[in-house]
Amino acid sequence: MSKPNPFEIAQKQLDDCAKILNLDAGVHEFLRHPKIEYHLSIPVRMDDGSTKIFQGYRVQYNDALGPCKGGIRYHPDETIDTVRALSAWMTWKTSLLGLPLGGGKGGVICNPKEMSMGELERLCRGYIDKIWQNIGPDKDVPAPDVYTTPQMMAWMMDEYSKLTGSNNFGCITGKPLCVGGSCGRSDATARGGMYALREAARELNIDLSKATFAIQGYGNAGSFAHSLAKELFGGKVVAISDSKGGAFNAKGIDADEAARIKAETSTVANIPGAKKISNEELLELDVDILVAAALENVITKDNAGRVKAKIIVELANGPTTPEADEILFQNKVHVIPDFLANAGGVTVSYFEMVQNIMRYCWSFDEVYAKLDERMTMAYQGVLAASKKYNVNMRQAAYTVAVSRVVDAMKTRGWV
């Protein structure tokens, strides 16, 4: 069975929003497609002396509210439609959080797990060599995403600076602290999601100190969500998983042990004393909070009816299909949609841009306080829209975000 097309899903979500807002047909059609997209062929010298050509993309979806912003993914299954969808969701995400930014996204078809550090550096620099004239602090600011790291962002920033002839730390975010990164960026996606979860739990009268958590996806967002569930709430994480499988222990799984086992064995499935489970089984566990932090389209019409969690926190982009959304809404599962739940990353990236421009650094406490304020305000705005229109939280988030982009387009005279 073929996987759902992520861009078709993004368009379907926008179509639903257009009906709620009664958007003009021309405005609606404009928003259904990227403003600009670039297709790149990137030659890279490999360690064995051969030259390999990597295919890459950069999509600048909409910049009505400001310069585009969005990560770069390195993944063997990357597609242009995935990048289009992610750039659309980033457009709504920056709007929803009230950031003066538009939406963009990038990707390269590669398997970074099979590449050396030297090959990865040459690929990063090669990507910037192809796209540097079309990005920058006033145009489009990339950041890390799936299988890209702060070190890779540093290489990209350095290459951009060389090509432009000056140190330009603000051209890329998600960098190490020593080259213009921001305090709090590493755990920002997960922390922002936990702030949104706190607000949802208050609304639903769920005591997070007694709640059980299951986390699908144990990359940056998922692993930080694990530690923050304990640190912020005292909650108990009973199940975690990565691409190679998962582990379940009703007594709870320690975050430090999980990190150690993953480092030693390359998967969390080998945690001692835990039962091995599949990613599919994890989604259907009887837990209070399900954190979806893996990839797209994991909750579908086929399994949504078996989800038992009270709240789903979508730290991944697009983990739930539109058909699944309807089922979850009917079953009173409260979904914190991706472009709200995982907006902490782009929010702190925006803070990083501001600090780079100011040549001034904020402390961890300052960053966390500003992030909390933004996430709380955004969540409450979405909740209010959900009640106003009697729609699910994703549709509500769309109404808030799309309305702001449309207002900017009309004010600028685009439509």
Cβ atoms of 297 and 275 closer than 8 Å = no
Tokens 């090509």 found at? 163
Order of all β-strands in the sheet with 236-242: 275-277, 245-248, 236-242, 212-216, 289-292, 311-314, 334-336
Which DSSP helix (H) or strand (E) runs through 171? none
Q: What pLDDT is attached to residue 3? A: 75
Q: What pLDDT is attached to residue 317? A: 84
Tokens 């993944």 found at? 75
Helices (H), 77-173: 80-96, 117-131, 150-164
In order, the DSSP letters of 234-278 are --EEEEEEETTEEEE-TT---HHHHHHHHHHHSSGGG-TT-EEE-
Q: How many CB atoms lie within 10 A of CB 162?
A: 15
Question: In degrees to the nearest 10, what's the CA dihedral of 293, 296, 301, 306?
Answer: -20
Query: What are the per-10-residue average pLDDT scores of the chain (415 residues)?
Result: 83 95 97 98 98 98 98 96 95 97 98 97 98 97 93 98 96 96 95 98 97 95 96 97 95 96 95 95 97 90 96 93 93 95 96 96 97 98 95 95 98 96
Domains along the sequence of the chain with CATH: 34-170 (3.40.50.10860), 188-341 (3.40.50.720)
Tokens 């009270």 found at? 310
pTM of the model: 0.92
Strand ranges, E, within 249-365: 275-277, 289-292, 311-314, 334-336
Q: What pLDDT is attached to residue 1? A: 56
* Annotated active-site residue in 105, 175, 236, 262: 105
Q: Which residues contact 14 (CB under 8 A, 6 or more apart)?
A: 28, 31, 32, 88, 398, 402
Q: What pLDDT is attached to residue 146? A: 85
Q: What pLDDT is attached to residue 134? A: 98
210 is a catalytic site residue: no
